[in-house]
Structures are given as C-alpha cells and as structure tokens.
Amino acid sequence: MRESGSAGRVGRFAVRVRYADTDQMGTAYHGNYFTWFEVGRTEMLRALGTSYREVEQAGVRLPVVEASCRYLRSAHYDDLLAIETTLAALGRASLRFEYRVLSAADGGLLALGWTSHCFLDVAGRPIRPPAFFRELLERTVQA
C-alpha cells in the first residue's frame, strides 16, 4: 500500500448539523460523524469527475472494512462544519480515506477519522480497481 499522509489532494465540503443530528444534550450524536465521512468521500469522488454510482456501474463495490473517529470538540445544532477528506493510501485492492471535521465558524478541529475500504466485485470477491478508477485515485494520492 502506498502511503501519502497529508500530501494527497484534500476535498473540502460543507455540512450543517441538523436538529435530528443532535442528542438530548444538544450536541451532534457521535454516530453522525461516520455519515459525514461518507458525504466527504462521496463528494470528493464527484469533484474528481466520477461518482459512487459510476464505480458501482463498473461492477465495483467499496465496502468499509474498518473505521475510526477521535472526537475532540462537540458540534451543535445549526453549526456549519467543513469535512476535509484525503485519500491517504491506495493499495492493490484497498484504499483508505482520512477525514478532518472542522468548525466553519472558527476553524477549530472537532474530530479526526479514517475509513478503510476494499474493492469487491458484485459477487463479493476481492478485485483490483478498474483502470479508469485507479488512475483517478493515483492522481489524487500524488496531488
């Protein structure tokens, strides 16, 4: 697996904390951060010129096989957040995204996280990514 650390291209996307995203204490529920990570990686791929739908139409699935989030500060109802997404590693049949969740108001870091994915065909067997997708991702890692 090639590691790029923070040298890769970063996608930055806004998300507003909805009332439904909060818990009884008025803070964003911890599980929502993983939803926001998904928004980050989906929008990053779209900004690069492809979409999850196109990848799936090419016969590729990208299930999450491992995920982590470190919570540093709370987000609250109606906060505007910036989700920064980086493709941190690209292997022969796997990839890893890293995320930073920031307050758009003050730039403060709220959370750090990552997700690891594998490439599967529609039958659930590990595969290498199609050439078009691998080339797109390699440019991202080297950006």
Query: Domain spans of the chain?
Result: 2-142
Highest mean pLDDT among 11-15, 22-26, 40-44, 113-117: 113-117
**How confident is residue 1, by pLDDT bands cut at 50, 70 and 90?**
very low
> Letter for the amino acid at 1?
M
Task: State yes or no: pLDDT of 6 exceeds 50.
Answer: no
Q: Which secondary-structure segment (H or E) carries 2?
A: strand 2-3
Catalytic residue among 21, 23, 78, 79: 23
23 is annotated as an active-site residue: yes
Report pLDDT for 47.
Answer: 87
Gap between the Cα atoms of 114 and 85, Å rounded: 9
Beta-carbon neighbour count of residue 26 at 10 Å? 10
Q: Which CATH superfamily is domain 2-142 in?
A: Hotdog Thioesterase (3.10.129.10)
